[in-house]
Structure 1
Amino acid sequence: MTPDLGIPHVAFHLPQRIDDVRCWAKRTGQNSSTVLNLERAGMRYYRNADGQTAIGLAASAIQRLLLASAVAPGEVDCIVYVHTLQGSIAPPPQSLPGLLCDRFGFIDAEAFSFAQQHCASALGALRVIRAMFIARPHMKRVLLVGADIMPLESERLMQTEGILGDGAFAAFIERGAAVNRLLAIATYASGQGWRAVLTNEEPRLAAQHFFAARSLIRRTVQQAHFTLDDIQRILPHHLDLPAWYRLLDALKIPQERLFTENFARIGHVTVSDAFINLAQCHGLVRGRPFLLFARGVGGFSAVALLLR
């Protein structure tokens, strides 16, 4: 039997330093067309860790979550840490999830990390967490936390789609939660996207991403026995805003249902986009579904449908 899960509490932490795309381009020697492409994609600003570590960002997000939820550390059954960049984990023999357990006193919590789906890992981890709740009836609460920092300024560019910012999120996944109930999760992986790291095949991959996203969204909504017209909001990853508008047109979903406020001011924070948006998307109507979406390099995509 599928457990009744929800996400009642979400928090995030962004570094204080705010950089803009044009200054970044000047510092890293980018040409003017790169800047114009980023601005067309909806990018303006991003957050810079400026020497902060991934564990520091993750700890700040967890601290905010604990304060907002009033959950005691002993009430956390498991910690799942997600990330994309290899620099966002502690080097062996250390364990970043273990370090977080030590810092906050999660003495009874299991802990592990999940990164195989890259930027889609946070939503992909929801499938793993749901399976854990099914297998362990005693489990009540899982802490899902993600953080990433980009160590090299020149590597922030996500082709023509956006720019990578630093940040972290933390969320509680709870059994029997009354809000943000998890209705359906679906993931997609092609593997073909890996060639894009080495070759210039953006048009082919853009079409692939478009059709994969359209199919995944339709399938997830149908799985939960809703229609696309029922979706009150879509909380996206912050890449290629014009492509999102084209996707919504193809799905016949009004463009105003896309939550776009964080594209320009935050940029793409790898595993954190969907949960930052969940924390900041106000005015969600009770009893109506909404959708989280993420895509990772390598052809990974993930969708989660929630009910407010």
Structure 2
Amino acid sequence: MTALESVATYLPSGRVPIEDLAGQLELTPMQVKLFRRYHRLAEVRREPDGTLLDLLLAAVANLDGLRGREHEIRYVLHARTFPVVVPYPVNPVHALCRILGLDHAVAFAVTHHACATGLLALDLAGRLLAHDGDGLALVLAGEKTFTRDAQLVPETSVFGEGASACLVRNAGPRDRLLAYAAHVRGEFDDELSDDPAAYQREYHSSLADVILAAAGKARTDLGDVRLILPHNVNVVAWQRLCRRIGYPIGQVLLDNVPVAGHVFCADAFLNYQTARERGLLRPGDRYVVAAAGAGRGATFSAMVFEH
């Protein structure tokens, strides 16, 4: 059974208020006010002089569980929101492997589930390790806000920079993956759809359905779920979703939304780290990690873990 061995994160020290992004993102004063007061997005993190490789290396540097175990790494996966995150022929994942002495590992990117790709990468890492029988996988997440599409989800969220690094093993005593559910909705491709707003209309019901599906697979009632670790799209989206599924909003860890924004596929790991640091998870607690991503279609995903 797939398990999380160790998780580390990195957020740049540079804090940029939403108001300072208005000109760059062509936001009106009303849109800025909407982001801050309604969606509770106050600021994002930026590292203007740093590269994507710098972000990923900074996260791995905080991953104490990796030190001295580099030889056990069989796979290195980079979970990406966007298929292309650096100009060709730059390859930050292979560069990271060379720097850290992980050249022996199979390294590749995972994408096409947009901001839900982090969950896909965890599932894929676990299945690869189950086939091998031993070893570890290193799952990376985090991207640079290098284009306007990588800075803003119109009317919904603002992307921030940061990164995460997670060690995954085939089996372990804690943070065991009990269930994974993912629903890909190809009809929500804005470029092909006659109704581009359909994704926004069905977002809450689709994400609610996949959370309930994962809980059902894990034979877990939502009342027994200690915590939901969300993707940090905005606060109001989760308020609406919680009303739909009857789950207490106070048990959704939203503290990182105002101070970090939506950190691509790293949100789940950032929120996990916060939960651990604050002692919000006790041994045996079950928790849900949920995410949605839109791009070429849409993906709604959820995982149930036991701490």
Answer yes or no: same fold by TM over 0.5.
Answer: yes
**1:272 matches 2:266:** yes
Identify if the C-alpha distance between structure 1 residues 100 and 225 changes in structure 2 by more than 3 Å, giving closer, same or farther.
same
Aligned to 1:284: 281
Aligned to 1:184: 179
Aligned to 1:62: 60
Counterpart code for 1:217: I
Q: Is the 8 A contact 2:5 2:65 kept in 1?
A: no
Q: Is the 8 A contact 1:87 1:151 kept in 2?
A: no
Q: Equivalent residue of 2:99, what SS?
A: helix
Aligned to 1:141: 136
The answer to which of 78-87 and 55-64 deviates more is: 78-87
**1:127 matches 2:123:** yes
Q: Is the 8 A contact 2:3 2:176 kept in 1?
A: yes
Aligned to 1:6: 3
Q: Is the 8 A contact 1:42 1:162 kept in 2?
A: no
Aligned to 1:254: 248
Aligned to 1:106: 102
For 1:208-223, what aligned pairs fall within 5 Å after superposition? 208-223=202-217
Aligned to 1:193: 188
CA distance in 2, matches of 1:15, 1:199: 40
How far off its partner does 1:267 sit?
0.1
Q: Is the 8 A contact 1:181 1:306 kept in 2?
A: yes
Q: What residue ranges of structure 1 are gaps of 5+ in the alignment? A: none
Cα distance per residue 1:228-264 (max 9 Å; x no partner): 1111100101113112111111111111111010010
Identify if the C-alpha distance between structure 1 residues 95 and 155 changes in structure 2 by more than 3 Å, giving closer, same or farther.
closer
**1:226 matches 2:220:** yes
How far off its partner does 1:224 sit?
0.7
Aligned to 2:41: 43
CA distance in 2, matches of 1:75, 1:242: 42
How far off its partner does 1:107 sit?
3.4
Counterpart code for 1:189: V
Q: Is the 8 A contact 1:88 1:147 kept in 2?
A: no
CA distance in 1, matches of 2:187, 2:287: 29
Counterpart code for 1:269: V
How far off its partner does 1:26 sit?
4.0
Identify if the C-alpha distance between structure 1 residues 82 and 216 changes in structure 2 by more than 3 Å, giving closer, same or farther.
same
Supply the RMSD in Å over aligned alpha carbons.
Answer: 2.1
Counterpart code for 2:100: F
CA distance in 2, matches of 1:28, 1:76: 40
How far off its partner does 1:96 sit?
2.9
Q: If the length of structure 1 is used for normalisation, what is the TM-score?
A: 0.91
2:28 is aligned, of 19, 27, 31, to 31
How far off its partner does 1:300 sit?
1.1
Q: Is the 8 A contact 2:142 2:163 kept in 1?
A: yes
Q: Is the 8 A contact 2:80 2:265 kept in 1?
A: yes
Identify if the C-alpha distance between structure 1 residues 266 and 199 changes in structure 2 by more than 3 Å, giving closer, same or farther.
farther
CA distance in 2, matches of 1:150, 1:41: 20
Q: Equivalent residue of 1:299, what SS?
A: strand
Q: Equivalent residue of 1:183, what SS?
A: strand
Identify if the C-alpha distance between structure 1 residues 196 and 236 changes in structure 2 by more than 3 Å, giving closer, same or farther.
farther
CA distance in 2, matches of 1:124, 1:167: 19
Number of positions where the alignment pairs a residue of Structure 1 with one of Structure 2: 301
Q: Equivalent residue of 2:287, what SS?
A: strand
Q: Equivalent residue of 1:232, what SS?
A: strand
Q: Is the 8 A contact 2:188 2:196 kept in 1?
A: no
Q: Is the 8 A contact 2:15 2:46 kept in 1?
A: yes
Counterpart code for 1:195: D
Aligned to 2:239: 245
CA distance in 2, matches of 1:220, 1:155: 29
